[in-house]
């Protein structure tokens, strides 16, 4: 795995904490509130904001708690968030929500840095994009910052028509399983499959409609709560598919509107294993001064998607289309390098502009815009 170990990720979240003012939505005494945070402060080719997603919440037994349809007419602006009040479904009372599904509400892709939930009793939960990234979601760096050490989670992409080489329409997850404790960090670091290979816990969906139901644990998992550890008492139960139950779908009443979901079979997709389609149709370049942003990590990851990227701290440029690293031009490197002043690749000094070191021809690059993070 390129980048942070699971332990480092969760340890960062332990440092960040759950109760940072402004990070979580305010309590609504009558309904759960979900916050969706987009990942970027500036427009890029396809900015990291996007269409307002659809939200469904489920209780410990997989029963629908409430839902709110997404909309292609409403957008989460880049670097912004949207607080979505999810009214309780008729007849359910006000049970606490444990599971959530998030599906893109339109064809404008959305890169999510974090999902937060505030319950009517003011209980708060957070899921950061780093978890989805580590489990194979399409991802990109985000400029969203939080905490005293400016923690910057990755953002993960969801897209209804799966354009730009993006693979997933939505995500389903069990909020309770991502508590930021040191004990949880240790357990996930020792066995990452606990996070990534259990469908009720966390799953990215290639096919997901607004009314898609997600699996839940039946019986519910037991967590070790002593000293606030929040670890799995029986890790084997996480993988026991006989416990992966599906909710019973309510029968539609006469005159009810029913949303029919058709798979998008005729859209251009990226190959999640090859990494070659990392910048399909992306035409901007991002230049970041953040030490947390690695061009090398983007280039080495088969699941990263987004615009070409420069890390000023690494002095490296990532050509996301070919997943190829090039040096940034400086006083020592003056050819076959990326010029951050003109946002162009300089040719090499070899035959026909080849790089004398690798023998490769630097790619010709033309951008609609240059975005500077820093």
Quick check: 116 and 61 in contact, CB under 8 A? Answer: no
Quick check: 117 and 99 in contact, CB under 8 A? Answer: no
The answer, yes or no, to whether residue 248 has pLDDT greater than 70, is yes
Q: How far is Cα 165 from Cα 295, in angstroms, rounded to an integer?
A: 19
Q: How far is Cα 203 from Cα 170, in angstroms, rounded to an integer?
A: 9
Quick check: 338 and 370 in contact, CB under 8 A? Answer: no
**Residue 219, preceding peptide bond in cis (omega within 30° of 0):** yes
For the ranges 19-28, 121-130, 168-177, 276-285, which has the lowest average pLDDT?
276-285
The answer, yes or no, to whether residue 189 has pLDDT greater than 60, is yes
Crossing angle of helices 182-190 and 6-16, rounded to 10° = 170
Q: How far is Cα 310 from Cα 284, in angstroms, rounded to an integer?
A: 11
Most confident of 40-49, 69-78, 126-135, 347-356: 126-135
Q: Residues 34-45: pLDDT tens digits? A: 999 988 644 444
The answer, yes or no, to whether residue 202 has pLDDT greater than 90, is yes
pLDDT score for 186? 85
More confident residue, 107 or 266: 107
Average pLDDT over residues 166-170: 95
pLDDT score for 71? 66
Q: What is the dihedral of CA 305, 311, 316, 317, to 10 degrees?
A: 40
Average pLDDT over residues 42-53: 58
For the ranges 75-89, 177-191, 216-230, 254-268, which has the lowest average pLDDT?
254-268
When the pLDDT of each residue in the chain is averaged and rounded to a whole number, the result is: 83
Name the percent of the chain lying above pLDDT 90. Answer: 55
B/e letters for 107-143, b = 16+ CB within 10 Å, e = fewer, are: ebbbbbbbbbbbbbeeebbbbbbbbbbbbbbbbbbbb
Binned at pLDDT 50, 70 and 90, residue 68 comes out as very high
- Report the predicted TM-score, pTM, of the whole model to 2 decimal places: 0.86
Binned at pLDDT 50, 70 and 90, residue 269 comes out as very low
Q: CB neighbours (10 Å) of residue 318?
A: 31
Binned at pLDDT 50, 70 and 90, residue 332 comes out as very high
Element (H, E) at 333: none
Question: Cα-flanking dihedrals φ and ψ of residue 261, to 5°?
Answer: -105, 120
Structure tokens at 64: 């629908």
pLDDT score for 109? 85
Average pLDDT over residues 140-159: 87
More confident residue, 368 or 10: 368
Q: How far is Cα 176 from Cα 173, in angstroms, rounded to an integer?
A: 9
């Amino acid at each position: 795995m390129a980048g942070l170990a699971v332990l480092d990720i969760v340890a960062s979240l332990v440092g960040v904490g759950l109760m940072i003012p402004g990070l979580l939505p305010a309590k609504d005494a009558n309904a759960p509130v979900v916050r969706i945070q987009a990942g970027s402060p500036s427009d890029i080719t396809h900015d990291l904001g996007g269409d307002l997603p659809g939200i469904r919440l489920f209780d410990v037994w997989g029963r629908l708690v409430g839902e709110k349809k997404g909309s292609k007419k409403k957008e989460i602006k880049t670097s912004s968030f949207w607080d979505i009040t999810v009214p309780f479904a008729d007849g359910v009372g006000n049970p606490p929500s444990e599971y959530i599904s998030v599906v893109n509400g339109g064809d404008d892709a959305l890169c999510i840095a974090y999902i937060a939930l505030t319950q009517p009793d003011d209980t708060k939960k957070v899921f950061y994009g780093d978890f989805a990234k580590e489990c194979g979601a399409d991802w990109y760096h985000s400029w969203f910052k939080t905490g005293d050490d400016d923690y910057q989670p990755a953002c993960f992409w969801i897209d209804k028509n799966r354009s730009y080489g993006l693979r997933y329409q939505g995500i389903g997850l069990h909020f309770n399983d991502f508590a930021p404790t040191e004990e949880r960090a240790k357990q996930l670091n020792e066995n990452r499959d606990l996070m990534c290979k259990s469908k009720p816990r966390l799953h990215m969906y290639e096919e997901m409609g607004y009314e898609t139901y997600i699996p839940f644990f039946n019986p519910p998992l037991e967590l070790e709560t002593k000293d606030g550890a929040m670890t799995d008492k029986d890790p084997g139960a996480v993988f026991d598919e006989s416990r992966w139950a599906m909710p019973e779908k309510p029968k539609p009443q006469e005159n009810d509107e029913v949303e029919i979901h058709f798979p998008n079979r005729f859209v251009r997709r990226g190959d999640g294993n090859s990494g070659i389609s990392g910048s399909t149709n992306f035409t901007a370049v991002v230049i970041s001064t953040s030490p947390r942003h690695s061009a090398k990590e983007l280039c080495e990851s088969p699941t990263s998607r987004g615009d070409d990227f420069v890390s000023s701290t690494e002095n490296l440029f990532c050509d996301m289309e070919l997943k190829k690293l090039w040096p940034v031009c400086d006083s020592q490197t003056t050819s076959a390098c990326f010029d951050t002043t003109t946002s162009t690749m300089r040719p090499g000094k070899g035959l026909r502009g080849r790089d004398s070191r690798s023998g490769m021809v630097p790619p010709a690059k033309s951008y609609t815009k240059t975005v500077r993070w820093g």
